[in-house]
Structure 1
Amino acid sequence: MDLLGNTVQPYAWGSHTAIADLLGEPSPSPAPQAELWMGAHPNAPSVLTREGRAATLRAAIATAPGQELGARVAARFGGRLPFLLKVLAAQKALSIQLHPDREQAERGYARENAAGVALDAHERVYVDDWPKPEILCALEPFEVLAGLRSAAQAADVLDGLGVPELKPLAAGLREDPSAKAVGRALARLLEWPAEARASLAESVVEAAAVESGRGGPYADAYDAVVRMSADHSGDIGLVASLLLNHRVLEPGQALFMGAGGVHAYIRGVGIELMANSDNVIRAGLTAKHIDVPELVRVLDPEVEVPVLAARQVSPGVEVFGTDVPEFRLSRLTLADGAVLDVPGDGGPRVLLCIEGEASVGCGTEPAARLLLTRGQSCFLGAQDMQVRLTGAGTYFLAEVGL
């Protein structure tokens, strides 16, 4: 068992309070704090200390993958920790984006390597050859755009604004009510003539401000467009966002994003668990590189983005059901002074404390214990068996999928 030192990513859309408060650091923070990374991703691997020497978790795994990951996981994932756990704190909207599946990632990574695009180049899309499915569990009400609307809803939300330029798109969706037609409408908006994008976005924001005040089934989506425009004025992504389902996750609800599912996080704090990748294909609401042709190519308009509730599998242990091999997310809850066996099947795990504190014990050795408090996380390698928590609070566990 190893306590982890983790990197906070200072992306511009991050909160100045959520992660600082979790870590017990001065709040508000001077710079935005968007994500707290826990894992072995090469861009920001966690740090651990063994025998008085600090090393990255990535280096420790590379030195002894069979010992740290277990022979089964090491063989299946090429000696790589297959998941990355994060605390995500969004104060502003993230980009409209999607992620590739494994085959798409491998082809895209090889293609950009062959073209000589540097890994740190602004225009690089595929920074590794892994897929990036992900699950987000809300810690507070979390506002998201996730998956494409039905054609009928998309037509209604566009028509509801009364913007002339959008009427042909709405009419086309009524003529062809298929998911693919909604995907084509999204592509049409994202490929809108550059010289006309700002004026269309301005017209949509003005109309959305009026319609959001009138109530109705799409008032919240219109209001989101108005709020996002404060940070992304003139961005065609504001218009395109109307084709996505607008939702607010309640604390404890989770959203699963499979490959090809278009989404954008608007505002909130949550736990995010994903495959150990940083492949993001963006199409709007960002200053980062946008690649609309690649997003349109990878987009799966039929992919579902389900809202998941945790399923209790034993006292104090709830699992969010996903069918991806790279990860599985569980929530552990301890009443004061309770003892709980940490789930595990011989693979690597990362355990994060969100509230409270607990003693983490491994086996029967009294020396093999550490104290995990709010904001702290630890790595449990494959050799760490019979792990128990004693204390109180709420914890999230990341492990390899079935």
Structure 2
Amino acid sequence: MSYDVDALRACFPSLGPTARFDGPGGSQVPAVVADAVRRTLTSSLANRGRVTAAERAADRIVADARRAMADLLAADPDGIVFGRSMTQLTYDFARTLAKTWQPGDEVVVTRLDHDANVRPWIQAADAVGAVVRWVGFDPGTGELTPDDVAAALSDRTRLVAVTGASNLIGTRPALADIAALVHERGALFFVDGVHLAAHHPVDVAAFGSDFFVCSPYKFFGPHCGVLAAHPGVLAELRPDKLLPASDAVPERFELGTLPYELLAGCTATVDFIAGIAPRGSDRRARIVSSLEAVVEHEDRLRVRMEAGLLGLPGVSVRSRAKLRTPTLLVTFADRDPVDAYRFLETLDVNAPAGSFYALETSRWLGLGDSGGLRVGLAPYSTELEVDRLLDGLGRFVRL
């Protein structure tokens, strides 16, 4: 099926005259997802169980959501853990994994990552006397290579945390190659897939990740977090939990009653993604074909946008990696990116400025904590919106 961006946009009640390049901070939500949340909130539900119809309905919602996220991530439904956010899940797993570390063990983090895949590991390591090893990246190209990671590994390495895609400059490291190096050392591989999952098909096994985390609100869904891991890996971990709470996997990692309405929204989100450009007989195949169409659409717009940006005087594009998402970080020779952000808003163009919690990345690029103007494409972005952005920035630099 051809990619019909106009038909896609018609599914989003919030899309109007504003040109939105703020998707990396959270996407807009289609009506079917909001309807699923509302329908669940107003339906007959109770705590999960098998006796009453309300209990069985809640149990069904959770099982459906695990299967949906497993299809999206090519994971095992029994290895899907839900949480309040990716940050909360990462903190929980950092504290749990740190129980298995000894003083002198090593944890590896990168300068390319969002702080949610950096600070939890640093703080967990500090709590038990483990050592933190840092991996940099090429600030000129934005590339973080397997060799960069290999230089930080040793026989004491216990965990390596790497982003699937930088939320600031879009760089996509070679996850499978990095995973092979990590596993050769007998360490675990934790991947922050929050930015990647919005723009590319995900296969946690192919990536070699032991843990993969993402946030549905980045790809049309509700605000919650999801972690995917092999059930056998989860079974070896002993998180803090209430005594009467289930010790089964994955429930032992889910604290308190799950938000059933948000999980119903997650299922609706995955079904929506599978319907963008579907090919194949099962949901996983339809997801892959749809996201492949998204990649093609977004990449075409990215090329158009980059060509226009590079033609503007005093404008630098900091996103240069060979493999990357359609997310560009723009800086100006003699202007504050915040001024560009505010100027574009007067033209009904949303492109925010900042470092967006990617503090280490911004600092490594020599931008301090300020970052730049982040321009992110989404599946519902159009050529007309790209042209509006370029026209607005052209006017800004000529002021």
TM-score computed with the length of structure 2 as normaliser: 0.23
> Which is helix-richer, 1 or 2?
2
TM-score normalized by the length of structure 1: 0.23
